[in-house]
Structure formats: C-alpha cells, structure tokens
Amino acid sequence: MEKDRIRGILTQVAEGSVSVEDALVHLKTEPFEDLGYAKVDHHRALRQGAAEVIYGAGKTPAQIAGIAASLRRHGQKTVLITRLAPEAAEFVGRETDLHYDPVSRIGRVGPLPEPDGVGRIVIATGGTSDIPVAEEAAQTAEALGNEVVRLYDVGVSGVHRLLANVEVIASARVVIAVAGMEGALASIVGGLADCPVIAVPTSVGYGASFGGLAALLSMLNSCASGVSVVNIDNGFGAGYLAGMINHLEGKR
C-alpha cells in the first residue's frame, strides 16, 4: 500500500537512517498505478505542486471514469477533467459525483478547494465567443485553489469597456487575456497591467484568422512587456500557469 511505503520512509527519516533529501527523492519518484490503458500518477502534486488532470479528448468514457476513480482512491480530493464530451460526462456522472459545465467542457469530481493563492486571477475576453476557452482557464484555476474574477466581452472593438475596468486589472496578480480575431486584447492589457499577462489565442474569427493562427502570431509579436502566450484555445494551460504564478510567494 502507498501509505505503508510512505510511512516506512518517514520512519527511517525519524530514526536517522535516511536523510530528508533522500526521502524527498523517493517520494518524488513514487508511485503510479498501472491500469493497462493508463499509468495514473499519484505523486504529481508532490513533484509539481498540482495533482494530475485528466485530458478527456480521445479517451473512452470508461477510461475517464477509471482514471478518476484511481485518483480518488489514492486520496485526491478534487479531480479535474478537461475537454470532456457531453456523452462521456453522462457516463462518468453515473459512476461518480460529477460536476459538468457544457460550455467549457470541464468536469470536476469532488469539491472546489478554498482559494489559497497570494492574490487573484483576472480573466478577460475579447468577446462572448471566447467564453468557452476562458471558462476552461477559469475553472482550471479555481480547481487549483485560486480566486478568479471574470471580465468578459471587453475587446478592442469597444475598448472603453476594458478601460472602465482598469481597477480590476490593477488588482490582479495575473491576468489571462483570451481573444480571437486579431488577438489585440493581450497587448492592450499588457500595457495596463503591472503583473504577468498570459495571452490565449482562440480559434474565433473569419477565414483569414486561420483558426486562431492570426491571433497567435499577433500575441507572440506583442510589444507590451510581460506578455506570455499559450497555444490556440489552450485555456487549461493558461489557468494552470496562472495558478502556479499565484502561488509563488514564499516558495523556496
């Protein structure tokens, strides 16, 4: 049993036969559960600060349910599932207590943790059509213990909407700027914020937006300092990175 292995290592540390450093190495490399179709990582939170998240796309409903059950068996209180199709959510919901949002296609098993980040994460979108990606970022960040403020539909076609919320931007420890079309929102936010800005290009837009490529290139070429960019429609990556930044204070 995993608890017995960990207890044995800790006992050796207490007895002085194993150093703290060696014990930490053991704990970081232990263990995973082999389900045949997946090797479920039960010590990711110890190594990386956040537990394993299930990427639902491409997995069968039974596989998703099996991985979630494995994580829960090993003590993971909150299990996050991204890109979860409605039909898969219906199956998983019969197997466990699933909270499902069809807009973001995020599934969550277990309660949301209390926010323990240093500050708050502000998520801004260029338009309403960007909300599915923004919600993937928001709900990821919330599942990782962050306070999230949503600032939706504040794009450059009506920039006064964003400027009316400068105080909200100024209150953030991290801002996630989600936009399609030409992706200009990230540059404007970057020029207003004194914190890191994570830009998320979306595949929203007409033909010459090339499925988000135009927004991606615009964001990569932003002249605003402090702007980083994740992949097209990668709300999860943005929410995860923002959560890491928001938990950095005091970390050695």
pLDDT of 86 strictly over 90 = yes
3-state SS record for the chain? CHHHHHHHHHHHHHHCCCCHHHHHHHHHHCCEEECCCCEEECCHHHHHCCCCCEECCCCCHHHHHHHHHHHHHCCCCCEEEECCCHHHHHHHHHHCCEEEECCCCEEEECCCCCCCCCCEEEEEECCHHHHHHHHHHHHHHHHCCCEEEEECCCCHHHCHHHHCCHHHHHCCCEEEEEECCCCCHHHHHHHHCCCCEEEEECCCCCHHHHHHHHHHHHHHCCCCCCEEECCCCCHHHHHHHHHHHHCCCCCC
Residue pLDDT, tens place only, 203-237? 999 999 999 999 999 999 999 999 999 999 999 99
CB 132 within 8 A of CB 232: no
Residue pLDDT, tens place only, 28-85? 655 776 677 777 777 677 677 777 888 999 999 999 998 898 888 877 888 999 999 9
In order of 139, 177, 234, the CA distances from 212 in angstroms are: 22, 14, 11
Domain ranges of the chain: 31-109, 120-246
Confidence of residue 23 (pLDDT cuts 50, 70, 90): confident
Residue pLDDT, tens place only, 118-156? 999 999 999 999 999 999 999 999 999 999 999 999 988
CB 176 within 8 A of CB 133: no
pLDDT of residue 55: 92
pLDDT of 252 strictly over 50 = no
Confidence of residue 21 (pLDDT cuts 50, 70, 90): confident
**Mean pLDDT along residues 87-107:** 92
Question: 120-246 in CATH: which number?
Answer: 3.40.50.1970
pLDDT of 241 strictly over 50 = yes
